[in-house]
Structure 1
Amino acid sequence: MKWDLKSFVGGIIIGSALFSGLAWASSSNDVALEASKIPYTYYFDGIPKSPTLDVQGILHKNTVYVPIRFVAESVGKTVMYDGKSKSIYIGKLPASKMYSKTEAVELVKKKYGQNIPANYQIEYDHDDENGQYVVHVYQQVVNNFQTGDGYTNTYGWFTVNPNTGDVKSLF
């Protein structure tokens, strides 16, 4: 089959029409989220307080997301953010070193990383009943690319003690 100028231009027009619709759809979601910024009034012990207009809550899927600094300072607490450990401290700092969830993942990588295949993901999953962080090491395997069907291949589950940083394998 030979391509000519008419086929080339037709392909560009059809492609432009298809992709412009995608761009419009994605930008309309941003507008809907931005439009849901509402000047809420927050009540603390029955006393109404409102943050400045540039620091409002956002309503998204029937959940109101509020600015944590405004809430904490309204109840008389200080707020500190540690970007390295991705930790937010409200009020008093912990009396002793506490490992964050991000640091727990790094501790698992440090202890077992040389044995874990490169295509595996290492993620915090949840806290167990004893307050320890549970880290999952796994890979997503897709065995049908048309439907996206597949399974999770687990390398291991690990616990990390948030007080000591001790890492243990669950199996």
Structure 2
Amino acid sequence: MKWDVKSFVGGIVVGSALFSGLALAAPAYPDSSEINKTPFTYYFDGVPKSPAMDVQGILYKNSVYVPIRFVAENLGKSVIYDGKTKSIYLGKLPAGKMYSKMEAVELVKKKFAGSLTPQHIVEYDHDDEKGHYVIQIYQTVVNNFQSGDSYTSTYGWFVVNPNTGEIRSLLQ
């Protein structure tokens, strides 16, 4: 097969088109210039302690984020991270099955799978006063493509019991 200038330029154009979306798809991490990486001193019952230099806390937008393992272990608690459910357990494990927020979202997706479109978003919103997870199903509808005006169309609000996995409508 013979390569010519037209093939070469065509390959560059196709390659550019394929990889131009990578920057748009990149997650919006905080700008590192906004993060203050000053080492903090932590006091446990009046005794100062500092974590290793590679696990320091950070100050970002006036909130301090601390290394949870360092803090929990200095309070005499064990720390277990479950990557599958995105759950962090401090101290004792729950006595029975507990559904995580991510599992609750998946339960709601599964329950309503037949009536949702790919445009629907199923998302954890908050915990209610009983400690149940509040999940919203919605979609964003663009009503003017030129101006970009859009609105949120809510399919429903649902509550998931973290102990049983029971799903009920928030409107009941």
Determine the C-alpha separation between the residues in 2 that align with 1:145 and 1:59.
39
Deviations along 1:97-149, one digit per CA (max 9) or x if unpaired, are 10000000111111111111221000011111222111100001232445543
Determine the C-alpha separation between the residues in 1 that align with 2:120 and 2:82.
27
Relative to structure 1, is the Cα distance of residues 147 and 63 closer, same or farther in structure 2, using a 3 angstrom cutoff? farther
Which position in structure 2 is the counterpart of 1:99?
Answer: 99
* DSSP-derived class of the 1:38 partner: coil
Contact 2:125 2:136 in 1 (8 A): yes
The equivalences for 1:135-150 within 5 A come to: 135-145=135-145, 147-150=147-150
Instruction: Structure 1: state its 5+ residue gaps.
Output: 1-25
Q: Aligned-residue CA RMSD in angstroms?
A: 1.9
Deviations along 1:39-60, one digit per CA (max 9) or x if unpaired, are 1100011110000111101111
Determine the C-alpha separation between the residues in 1 that align with 2:69 and 2:61.
22
Which position in structure 2 is the counterpart of 1:80?
Answer: 80
TM-score (norm: length of structure 2): 0.77
Determine the C-alpha separation between the residues in 2 that align with 1:156 and 1:117.
14
Q: Does 1:132 align with 2:132?
A: yes
Instruction: Structure 2: state its 5+ residue gaps.
Output: 1-27
The equivalences for 1:21-170 within 5 A come to: 29-30=31-32, 32-33=33-34, 36-145=36-145, 147-170=147-170
* DSSP-derived class of the 2:71 partner: helix
Relative to structure 1, is the Cα distance of residues 44 and 146 closer, same or farther in structure 2, using a 3 angstrom cutoff? farther
Determine the C-alpha separation between the residues in 2 that align with 1:160 and 1:126.
11
Contact 2:86 2:100 in 1 (8 A): yes
Determine the C-alpha separation between the residues in 2 that align with 1:33 and 1:74.
29
Which position in structure 2 is the counterpart of 1:20?
Answer: none
* DSSP-derived class of the 2:115 partner: coil
Relative to structure 1, is the Cα distance of residues 146 and 76 closer, same or farther in structure 2, using a 3 angstrom cutoff? farther
TM-score (norm: length of structure 1): 0.78
* DSSP-derived class of the 2:114 partner: coil
